[in-house]
Amino acid sequence: MSELEEKIAAWRGQLIAGGIESSAILDELESHLLEEVDIRLACGNSEAQAFEHAVQWMGALIHSGRFAMFNLDQAIAEWRRQMAAGGNKNSTILDELESHLRDDIRTRVAAGDLEARAFELAVAKMGSPSVVRNEFNKINRPTCWPVKIGISLWMVMAVLVAGVVARQFHFGKLTPLLTVHIMALTTGYLAVFLAGAFGLYYVGMQWSGKLSPQLQLSLYRAARAFTGISAGLIVAGLFLGTIWNKQIRGVYWGGSLREIGAVCVLMWLAVLWVMERRNQQNIYLRMLACVAGNVVVSLAWFGVVILMADPGLKYLGSYWPLEIFVAIHLVILALGFSRRFETAKA
């Protein structure tokens, strides 16, 4: 037995004495210890120095046996108490902070960290209560620039849509009811696209490791807000459409592809609402769902137009812009659901 193996055996004995008796846990801890030793050796440390630093890195777990007794929910409850004591007493903000914290912990555990270690790193990354309070005071005043740009673009597009539709109404090509119906549906679809754009930016920043908790919160809030706005506009558009159908065609529901497409979008927004209510601990999945919303709306909007113009899809190659748009989003979604987001370890 080498000297390192003897030290590791003694170290395992200390863990057992500290209350960690499960061989599976001991093997996992040893695996992490050896990984840290290898890293130190690669940095030029001697074997003795590498082992000493690795033991110090896991010291809290070794001396107290905390790994065996670690309870994530209890640790987060204590963290919330400390945050509240530090001036962050708003329960809504604490819930959002906890959601970000759990996301980070889940990411680190998936990358191979122990749950206790992942909790420590995630808390350290988020910052002390005073730092968090200051950052949230900043974010509650000005909105981050990507959100400002997105909102501005949506407003400009909404004004342009209103201008074009109002022009058609002015020349007698549209009735008042149909005018409002078109404006509501179009701006609603654009709102879904904006929420999807926020989702894409979120995913990109997450993959690049530049997504701070504050930026994450700002993007999430904006995506959630515009998902709600889009739902309201599309419901209004569908309702006005049924009234127009009754006046012109004598039936409330005509069963046209446009109507079916709008209902499909509304159903997808209902799915997002359910995710919001039932899966509050996983923000990145909800942001990926916003990205999927781009696919749903593009097919319900432009795909329907293509089917109406070319029912047999005889000229499928002519619709390559939509095909490329959908394909890119599907690739991003596939990567998003399969890839483990990596975060830099403190």
Q: CA 49, CA 3: separation in Å to the nearest integer?
A: 13
Q: How far apart are the first and last CA of the chain?
A: 34
CB 224 within 8 A of CB 289: no
Q: Which CATH architecture has domain 143-338?
A: Up-down Bundle (1.20)
Q: CA 27, CA 241: separation in Å to the nearest integer?
A: 64
Per-residue model confidence as pLDDT tens for the chain (346 residues): 578 888 888 888 877 776 666 676 777 778 878 887 888 888 788 888 888 888 877 764 444 444 545 678 888 888 888 888 877 667 767 777 787 788 788 877 777 677 777 888 888 877 777 776 666 655 554 467 888 899 999 999 999 999 999 999 888 888 899 999 999 999 999 999 999 999 999 888 878 878 776 777 788 889 989 999 999 999 999 999 999 888 888 888 888 888 999 999 999 999 888 877 775 556 778 888 899 999 999 999 999 888 888 887 777 778 889 999 999 999 988 887 775 444 333 3
DSSP secondary structure of 307-340: HHH-TT-TTGGGGHHHHHHHHHHHHHHHHHHHSP
Contacts of 150 (CB under 8 A, 6+ apart): 194, 197, 198, 222
Q: Which residue has the tokens 């419901």?
A: 235
In the chain, where the domains are located: 3-67, 71-138, 143-338
Q: Which of 222, 221, 216 is nearest to 202 (CA)?
A: 216
Separation of CA 187 from chain center: 23
